[in-house]
């Protein structure tokens, strides 16, 4: 069914919106007024992988007025197992561009803003400021800490979400009202300590389930109905394979470096990791901002299932179809085969785990 012609103001007739959202406005939790608020809202989705693409699908169908899509990656074949907005025709296209084309066909009355770029220190405030809610579809903690700093600084609600293996978790963050992300995770863990989809795998049902929780929370926030009143938030963890569901209360930390002490470490260019293009070589070096020591032995165990690993007491070199990464005990890594910083950062997050 084609939508009716737009009226002179360039908006679809009210009758069309009533028909499209009639099952949603019947809900007492939303109603006509809630639907109006959704239409007037701006949501930013950072990362358009499995969770982010599912979240974009839900929000656009729900009638969020403007949806901003941010992603640095291209569509790869292994994405099609779980990333619902893409098909084989989209291989090697920017995810943000491919997703926007599909979403516009789903609901042409929603404004889609596309940014096929890496969210980083240089652009995060520009892309996020002005949002009514930010949804997490990212694949690394560095970006989440950056999102947290921007949202705390500008008092923007955001929703942390993650999925790997058969499990996932979600937690709403409303600056000034609930704990922030650094109340939950005060600092970056050592590289190699976190599981990633590239190492642990992922069941294709869990990202969609976590995105469902994430978008439900977004609708609560946008319609003005979210609030615990006591400064508590809840981290929800689900394992679909084991059919378990846990809801864990999280309180604000008096010593939180961000929301209690006011430090925006991840918006500080002095304290960020250093990314260097190596002169005369098709390679990029990434050096963590803080000194650390990682277990190359544990990293070898994790990566040996995915490609060729060569190990010495001082360095580990991993080769796969994506290129070669040399990792040192202090967390420094050299990514060979690229001069693109965003690509190098993505590979570092994918295989080293930050």
Radius of gyration of the chain (CA): 21
**Could you tell me the two tokens for 106?**
């789903």
HSE of 8, CA atoms in CB hemisphere, 13 A? 0
Do the strands 233-239 and 244-250 form a parallel or antiparallel pair, or are they unpaired? antiparallel
CA distance 14 to 44: 26
pLDDT tens-digit profile, the chain (354 residues): 445 444 444 455 666 567 899 999 999 999 999 999 999 999 999 999 999 999 999 999 999 999 999 998 889 898 999 999 999 999 988 999 999 999 999 999 999 999 988 888 889 999 999 999 999 999 888 889 999 999 999 999 999 999 999 999 999 999 999 999 999 999 877 656 677 777 788 999 999 999 999 999 999 999 999 875 566 789 999 999 999 999 999 999 999 999 999 999 999 877 666 776 665 567 887 877 666 778 888 888 888 888 899 988 778 999 887 678 988 887 888 898 888 888 888 888 888 876
CA distance 213 to 162: 11
Q: Helix, strand, or coil here: 90?
A: helix
**Could you tell me the two tokens for 44?**
């930013």
pLDDT of residue 279: 58
What values do phi and psi take at 123, rounded to 5?
-130, -5
pLDDT of residue 9: 40
β-partners of residue 274 are 287
Q: Which numeric CATH code is attached to 41-267?
A: 3.40.50.720
Per domain, the residue ranges of the chain are 41-267, 274-351
Of 66, 71, 70, the residue nearest 112 (C-alpha): 66
Do residues 240 and 203 touch, judged by C-beta distance below 8 A?
yes
- Distance set, CA 166 to CA 87, 209, 244, 286 (Å): 23, 11, 11, 30
What values do phi and psi take at 54, rounded to 5?
-65, -40
Kindly name the residue from 151, 180, 183, 197 that is annotated as catalytic: 197
pLDDT of residue 261: 94
- Helix 206-222 to helix 50-62 angle (10° resolution) is 40
Catalytic residue status for 197: yes
Does 41-267 match 274-351 in CATH topology? no
Do the strands 333-336 and 42-46 form a parallel or antiparallel pair, or are they unpaired? unpaired
Class of domain 274-351 as given by CATH: alpha beta
HSE of 115, CA atoms in CB hemisphere, 13 A? 17
- Residue-wise DSSP of 236-256: EEEETTTTEEEEEEEPPPTT-
pLDDT of residue 117: 85
Query: What is the biggest distance separating any 2 CA atoms in the chain, rounded to whole angstroms?
Result: 71
Q: Which residues contact 8 (CB under 8 A, 6 or more apart)?
A: none
* Distance in Å from the first CA to the final CA of the chain: 45
CA distance 27 to 30: 5
pLDDT of residue 64: 98
CA distance 30 to 35: 6
């Amino acid at each position: 069914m084609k939508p009716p012609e737009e009226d002179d103001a360039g908006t679809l007739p009210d009758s069309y919106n009533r028909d499209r959202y009639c099952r949603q406005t019947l809900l007492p939790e939303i109603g006509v007024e809630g639907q109006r608020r959704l239409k007037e809202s701006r949501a930013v989705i950072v990362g358009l992988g499995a969770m982010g693409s599912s979240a974009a699908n839900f929000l656009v169908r729900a009638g969020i007025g403007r949806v901003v899509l941010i992603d640095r990656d291209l569509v790869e074949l292994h994405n099609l197992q779980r990333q619902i907005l893409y098909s084989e025709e989209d291989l090697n296209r920017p995810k943000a561009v491919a997703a926007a084309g599909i979403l516009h066909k789903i609901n042409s009355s929603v404004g889609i803003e596309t940014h096929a770029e890496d969210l980083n220190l240089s652009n995060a405030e520009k892309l996020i400021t002005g949002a009514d809610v930010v949804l997490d579809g990212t694949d690394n903690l560095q970006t989440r800490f950056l999102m947290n700093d921007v949202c705390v600084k500008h008092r923007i609600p955001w929703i942390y979400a993650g999925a790997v293996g058969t499990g996932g978790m979600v937690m709403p963050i409303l600056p000034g009202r609930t704990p922030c992300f650094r109340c939950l995770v005060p600092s970056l863990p050592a590289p190699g300590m976190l599981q990633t989809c590239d190492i642990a795998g992922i069941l294709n049902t869990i990202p969609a389930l976590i995105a469902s929780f994430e978008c439900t929370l977004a609708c609560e926030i946008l319609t003005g109905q979210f609030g615990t009143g006591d400064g508590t938030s809840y981290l929800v963890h689900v394992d679909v394979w084991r059919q378990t569901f846990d809801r864990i209360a999280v309180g604000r930390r008096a010593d939180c470096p961000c929301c209690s002490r006011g430090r925006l470490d991840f918006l500080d260019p002095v304290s960020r990791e250093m990314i260097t293009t190596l002169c005369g070589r098709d390679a990029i070096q990434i050096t963590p901002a803080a000194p650390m020591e990682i277990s190359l032995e544990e990293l070898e165990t994790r990566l040996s299932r995915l490609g060729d690993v060569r190990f010495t007491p001082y360095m580990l070199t991993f080769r796969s179809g994506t290129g070669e990464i040399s990792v040192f005990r202090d967390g420094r890594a050299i990514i060979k085969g690229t001069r693109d910083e965003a690509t190098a950062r993505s590979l570092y997050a994918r295989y080293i785990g930050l």
